[in-house]
Amino acid sequence: MFSSSKPGIFITGTDTGAGKTVVAAGLALALRARGIKVGVMKPVATDCQGVPNRLVSLDAAFLMEAAENEFPALISPSRFRNALSPHVASIVEKKDIDLKKIYKAYQELHKHYDFVIVEGIGGLLVPLTKDYFVSNLIREFRLPVVIVSRAGLGTINHTLLTVDAAVIRGFDIRGIIFNRIPAVNYSIAEVTNPKVIHDLSGVPILGGLPEIEGLNVESCRFGKLREIFQERIQIDKILAGTPAAV
């Protein structure tokens, strides 16, 4: 474990595809607009593209563009081709996850940036190795957590399970962000779920993001992500108590 916590946030999700990358990129864009020198990191990435020794994570590339970072090797130190959990991908591809390399990359990023946004992979209990999970990485980094969730049917269970897992581990949960909230033709579940989750968990709801026209992770197009993030997300609650908020 690092001797002291560094200014930053860990973006986790209720599951794969919840929208962690969009939220992390939106936060990076919003913090840059405040004049904060922000770094980004996706420590472990699967479903990467390219040749074996030059794999590229599209999610990490999207984050790097959003933050205008210049150290790709630090942003995504552990990459796999197969769209699998990291533990399984490492077995299939016969390539170990080097946790020391991840720790070193995180420390190096803090030498260059004032605030680091770390995006996890999947949810809290996704295994990176046989006995090391995303939650272990959060504990090592000593970062507060933002949970990204969907708004639709089923999200109450998924979100409360994630909150419960975070609380049991003693994590500082800054709040929940709901992603892909429809602007029209929304269901009763999508309207009521955020309040229900807040009432049952006591965790702050930081806001919600709609589908954003022109946003595309694969081609690094952001549309109006920054403007919408600034308008709809309670950024000050994410930054609460960190030097970057000054």
Catalytic residues: 42
DSSP 211: -
User: In 3-state terms, what secondary structure has residue 17?
Assistant: coil
Nearest to 40, CA basis, from 17, 21, 18: 21
Contact by Cβ (8 Å): 179, 24: no
Question: How far is C-alpha 120 from the chain's CA centre?
Answer: 5
Maximal C-alpha separation, the chain:
49
Question: Helix 188-201 crosses helix 155-168 at what angle (to 10 degrees)?
Answer: 20
DSSP 83: S
Q: Which residues contact 123 (CB under 8 A, 6 or more apart)?
A: 12, 13, 14, 15, 16, 134, 162
Alpha carbons 195 and 19: distance in angstroms, whole number: 20
The partner residues of 13 in beta bridges, in order of sequence, read 148
Alpha carbons 71 and 68: distance in angstroms, whole number: 10
